[in-house]
Chains A and B, each alone.
Chain A
Amino acid sequence: MKDQQQSSVALPLPAGRAAYALGVWRNPGLWLVLAVVGLVGAYPIITNQAATREAIFTTLLSIALASSLNILLGYTGYVSFGHVVFFGLGGYLGMYLLNSGVGLPVAVLAGGMIAGLLAFLLGSAILRLRGAYFALATIGINEAMRTFISNFGPFGGPTGISLNFAVYKPYGGAAQALWLTYYSLLSLTLVAIVLSFQVKHSKFGLGLRAIREDEDAAEVMGVITPRAKTWAYVLSAIIPGMAGVLFFFKNGNIEPLDAFRLHFSIELLVMVMLGGQGTVLGPVLGAAGYQQLRGFLLTNPTFKDYQLVLAGALLLLIVLFIPAGAIGWLRARFPRLRRVLP
Chain B
Amino acid sequence: MLLHVHNVSKSFGGLQALNDVSFELPEGQILGLIGPNGAGKTTLFNVINCVYPPTTGRVTFRGADVTGKKPYDVSRMGMARTHQIVRPLSELTVRENVMVGACYGSHGHRLREAAQIADEVLAFIGLGERADQLAGSLNVAQKKRLELARALAARPQLLLLDEVLAGLNPSEVGAMVETIQHIRETGVTIIMIEHLMHALMKLADYVLVLEFGELIASGTPEEVTSNPAVIEAYLGDPKLAEGLMDSA
Taking Cβ atoms with an 8 Å cutoff, the residues of A that contact B are 8, 14-17, 20-21, 201-203, 206-207, 209-210, 212-214, 216-225, 278, 335
Distance of A15 Cα from B115 Cα, bound (Å): 12
Please tell me which one of the listed residues A8, A14, A212, A222 contacts residue B154 in the complex, with CB atoms under 8 A apart: A222
With both chains docked as a complex, state the minimum distance between the C-beta of B245 and any C-beta of chain A, in angstroms: 36
* Residues of B participating in the A interface, judged by any CB pair closer than 8 Å: 49, 51, 70-72, 75-76, 80-81, 83, 87-93, 95-96, 99-101, 103-105, 110-112, 114-116, 118-119, 131-132, 150, 154
Find out whether the CB atom of A217 lies under 8 angstroms from the CB atom of B89: yes
Give every chain A residue within 8 A of B104 (Cβ-Cβ): 207, 210, 221-223
- With A17-B119, A213-B90, A213-B92 in contact, do A220 and B75 touch (Cβ < 8 Å)? yes
A221 vs B72: C-alpha distance when bound (angstroms): 7
Interface contact A222-B72, CB-CB below 8 Å: yes
Contact B150 A14 (CB under 8 A): no
Residues of B within 8 A of A15 (CB): 132
Classify the interface of chain A: helix, strand, loop or mixed: helix
| Known contacts A14-B132, A203-B103, A206-B103, A220 near B71 by CB under 8 Å | yes
Q: Pick the contact of A221 from B75, B93, B95, B119 — CB < 8 Å?
A: B75
Which residues of chain A are within 8 angstroms of B72 by Cβ–Cβ distance?
A: 219-225
Q: Chain A residues near B118: list those with CB within 8 A.
A: 17
Contact present for B89 and A210 (CB under 8 Å)? yes
The residue from B83, B92, B105, B119 contacting A209, defined by CB atoms under 8 A apart: B92
Contact A206 B119 (CB under 8 A): no
B75 — which chain A residues lie within 8 A by C-beta?
220-222
With contacts defined as CB atoms under 8 Å apart, how many contacts are there between chain A and chain B in the complex?
Answer: 95
In Å, the complex CA distance between A319 and B70 comes to: 35
B112 touches A21 (CB 8 A): yes
Q: Is the CB of A203 within 8 A of B131?
A: no
Other than the given A202-B111, A221-B72, A221-B101, 12 more pairs (CB < 8 A) read A14-B132, A17-B131, A206-B99, A206-B103, A210-B92, A216-B51, A220-B83, A221-B105, A222-B71, A222-B75, A222-B76, A222-B104
* Chain B, Cβ-Cβ closest to A332: B134
- Nearest to B106 among chain A residues (CB) is A222
| Chain B residues, Cβ within 8 Å of A16 | 93, 95, 131-132
Pick from B90, B91, B100: contact of A207, CB below 8 A: B100
Q: Which residue of B lies closest to A15 (CB)?
A: B132
Min CB gap B133→A, angstroms: 9
CA distance A223 to B97 in the complex (A): 12
Contacts of B111 in A (CB 8 A): 20, 201-203, 206
A214 touches B93 (CB 8 A): no
Q: For the complex, what is the distance from the CA of A216 to the CA of B88, rounded to whole Å?
A: 11
Complex Cα gap A24–B183 (Å)? 34
CB distance from B96 to the nearest CB of A (A): 6
The 6 closest A-B pairs by CB, nearest first: A222-B104, A222-B75, A213-B89, A16-B132, A20-B115, A217-B87
Q: Give the distance in Å from the alpha carbon of A237 to the alpha carbon of B111 in the complex.
A: 25
Cα distance, A222 to B76, chains bound together (Å): 6
| Distance in angstroms between the alpha carbons of A219 and B118 in the assembled complex | 19
A206 touches B100 (CB 8 A): yes
Residues of B within 8 A of A223 (CB): 72, 100, 104
Closest to A223 in B: B104
* Contact yes or no, A220 B105, CB < 8 A: no
Quick one: given A207-B104, A216-B87, are A221 and B150 in contact (CB under 8 Å)?
Answer: yes
Could you say which residues of chain B place their CB within 8 Å of the CB of A21?
112, 115
B119 close to A210 (CB less than 8 A): no
Cα(A8)–Cα(B120), bound, Å: 11
Closest chain A residue, CB of each to CB of B51: A220
CB-CB under 8 A from A217, the residues of chain B are 83, 87, 89
For B87, give the chain A residue with the smallest CB separation: A217
Closest chain A CB from B211 CB (angstroms)? 26
Instruction: Determine whether the beta carbon of B76 is less than 8 Å from that of A209.
Output: no
Q: Would you list 7 pairs from A and B whose C-beta atoms are within 8 A, ordered by A residue?
A: A20-B111, A201-B111, A207-B100, A213-B88, A217-B89, A218-B89, A222-B104
Q: Contact partner of B115 among A17, A207, A278, CB < 8 A?
A: A17
Q: Are B154 and A221 in contact (CB under 8 A)?
A: yes
Chain B hits for A209, CB < 8 A: 89, 91-92, 96
Which residues does chain A contribute within 8 Å of B116, judged by CB atoms?
8, 17
